């Protein structure tokens, strides 16, 4: 693995603001901490229970509802070919023209509700790449036949939906569809929480991002510490690949997620030093035969496909500097057996399986540092203007002994740019990046990107 230089780190928005919904305190959704747990219950004119705070003021439906969200609009010009064969025959694409892209990577609506007595609801609905659009049209050119047209690609997902019971700050229990708190990007994925126009590539390549699954979570805060532990369905090794490692293992093409295997995840954060957050997180679980059909051949007896993933990350925000960094390393047991099994999966136009090899491990490391030049002027204290740089190294395919080598999976990326915050909830971004792979065997991949994004709580 290439040497990796990094340290330093970023500003975490306060827990009361709730920048990251799953890793935040429940008042990010509900404002529950402002309500006395011994407050009286009453029924309002709308038939909805109203709750009184410590001053005796009733809180109706609207006052217990939290509404927020985040979103990104992006324009990019990639100065290279994105042909799927560009790594097989680099010389054929060395002088290929570039191409432009316009995108809405993520647009999210967040809802929260405080039922009272420590019970809270959280929900997050995400529209990726503009969502999906389909329509039925009557074609005059085809004898008036009806046709179903797909007018826009994209995804709509219920990224979070959970019910939580708060006993006290040190103990909260959450059940439902929850963000898995592993890695920096999953824990802090709002567009105001990273400098680059798109989410950092490394973690977004090798692990699910944003990683959300149905499970049970226990979390709490004590002093300068925050912890979380989660039980969730195991990943599905049938969807592991060489270009994304376990990234697609949490997805399911079915109306449900197979749960033949269970897994565990954890996260611990420390805030002892002013402006600094240090985080350690991890995941462990078996992945083989975690599908609607299982392979009972004696050849695969004892194969578990155990996934072990560990991640360290940090954020720092002080003295006009913001810095973020992460190091993730993962190991997959029985990678050779999983590769063979995946290549022999059912094929066909309707098959959801990728049929690609998978490595025994993957790594992602990155660091970004920005300086707020507006912080030098008291007149500009309500705005921020960061000049930043970022470096990443990641490899989605560390081969097992005797496996095929794929040099293009080992990548480095350098980016420089600016972030302008006219107000704290809105950011305008510009970035130049340069990605290169496999000891410069392949063509470099430079690009220019512009973006505008927001994140915030509209009503608390």
Q: Is residue 123 part of a domain?
A: no
Q: Which residues lie below 8 Å from residue 149, measured CB to CB, with a gap of 6+? A: 134, 135, 136, 137
Nearest C-alpha neighbor of 156 from the set 130, 135, 191: 130
Q: What is the mean pLDDT of residues 280-302?
A: 91
Please report whether residue 192 resides in a domain: yes
Q: Is residue 54, in this structure, part of any structural domain at all?
A: no
Token representation of residue 137: 């049209």
pLDDT digits (tens, 9 = 90+) for 157-201: 888 999 999 999 999 999 999 999 999 999 999 999 999 999 999
Residue 138 lies in a domain: no
Cα 378 off chain centre by: 35
CB 46 within 8 A of CB 64: no
**Residue 149 has what pLDDT?**
62
Does residue 39 register a pLDDT over 70? no
pLDDT at 50: 42
Q: 170 or 350, which is more confident?
A: 170
| Domain presence at residue 203 | yes
Residue 279 has pLDDT above 50, yes or no: yes
Q: Which domain, by its residues, includes 238? A: 27-35+149-419+433-445
Pick the more confident residue, 433 or 295. 433
From CA 24, how far away is CA 196, in angstroms rounded? 23
Instruction: Say which residue the tokens 């340069």 belong to.
Output: 434
What is the CATH number for 383?
2.40.160
Nearest to 429 by CA among 209, 191, 205, 203: 191
Question: Is the predicted pLDDT of residue 19 greater than 80, yes or no?
Answer: no
C-alpha pair distances (Å), 233 with each of 209, 244, 256, 284, 297: 16, 19, 11, 11, 23
In the predicted model, is pLDDT for residue 34 greater than 90?
no
For strands 426-437 and 410-423, give the pairing.
antiparallel
Cα–Cα nearest to 449, from 413, 405, 423: 413
Residue 438 in any domain: the answer is: yes
Cα(52)–Cα(308) distance, rounded to whole angstroms? 47
pLDDT digits (tens, 9 = 90+) for 364-398: 999 999 999 999 999 998 999 999 999 999 999 99
Looking at the structure of the chain, the number of domains it has is: 1
Average per-residue pLDDT for the chain:
85
Position 166 in a domain: yes
Q: Which residues contact 440 (CB under 8 A, 6 or more apart)?
A: none
3 state SS of 304: coil
Single pTM value for the model: 0.84
Q: Would you say residue 327 lies in a domain?
A: yes
Residue 61's pLDDT is 78
């Amino acid at each position: 693995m290439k040497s990796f230089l990094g340290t330093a780190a970023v500003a975490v928005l306060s827990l009361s603001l709730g920048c990251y919904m799953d890793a935040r305190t429940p008042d990010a959704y509900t404002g529950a901490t402002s309500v006395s747990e011994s407050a009286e219950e009453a029924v309002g004119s709308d038939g909805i229970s109203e709750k009184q705070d410590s001053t005796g003021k009733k809180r109706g439906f609207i006052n217990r509802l939290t509404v927020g969200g985040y979103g990104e609009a992006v324009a990019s010009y990639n100065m290279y070919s994105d042909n799927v064969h560009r790594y097989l025959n680099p010389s054929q694409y060395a002088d290929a023209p570039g191409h432009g892209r316009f995108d809405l990577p993520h647009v999210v609506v967040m809802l929260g509700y405080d039922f009272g007595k420590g019970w809270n609801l959280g929900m997050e609905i995400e529209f990726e790449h503009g969502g999906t659009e389909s329509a039925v049209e009557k074609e005059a050119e085809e004898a008036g036949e009806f046709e179903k047209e797909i007018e826009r690609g994209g995804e709509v997902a219920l990224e979070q939906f959970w019910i939580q019971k708060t006993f006290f700050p040190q103990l909260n229990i959450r059940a439902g569809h929850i963000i898995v708190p592993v890695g920096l990007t999953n824990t802090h994925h709002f567009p105001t929480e990273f400098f680059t126009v798109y989410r950092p590539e490394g973690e977004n390549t090798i692990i699910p991002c944003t990683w959300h699954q149905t499970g049970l979570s226990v979390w709490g805060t004590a002093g300068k510490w925050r912890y979380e532990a989660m039980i969730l369905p195991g990943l599905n090794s049938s969807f592991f690949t060489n270009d994304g490692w376990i990234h697609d293992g949490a997805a399911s093409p079915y109306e449900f997620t197979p749960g033949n295997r269970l897994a565990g995840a954890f996260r611990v954060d420390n805030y002892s030093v002013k402006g600094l957050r240090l985080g350690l997180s991890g995941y462990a679980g078996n992945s083989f035969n975690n599908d609607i059909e299982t392979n009972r051949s004696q050849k695969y007896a004892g194969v578990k496909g155990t996934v072990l993933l560990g991640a360290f990350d940090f954020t720092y925000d002080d003295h006009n500097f913001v810095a973020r960094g992460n190091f993730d390393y993962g190991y997959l047991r029985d990678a050779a057996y999983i590769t063979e099994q995946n290549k022999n999966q059912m094929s066909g136009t309707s098959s959801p399986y990728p049929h690609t090899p998978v490595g025994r491990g993957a790594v992602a490391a990155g660091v970004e540092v920005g300086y707020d030049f507006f912080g030098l002027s008291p007149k500009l204290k309500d705005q921020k203007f960061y000049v930043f740089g970022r470096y990443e190294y990641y490899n989605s395919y560390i081969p097992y002994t005797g496996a095929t080598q794929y040099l293009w999976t080992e990548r480095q990326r350098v980016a420089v740019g600016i972030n302008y915050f006219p107000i704290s909830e809105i950011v305008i971004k510009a970035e130049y990046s340069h990605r290169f792979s496999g000891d410069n065997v392949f063509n470099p991949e430079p690009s220019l990107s512009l973006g505008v994004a927001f994140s915030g709580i509209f009503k608390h």
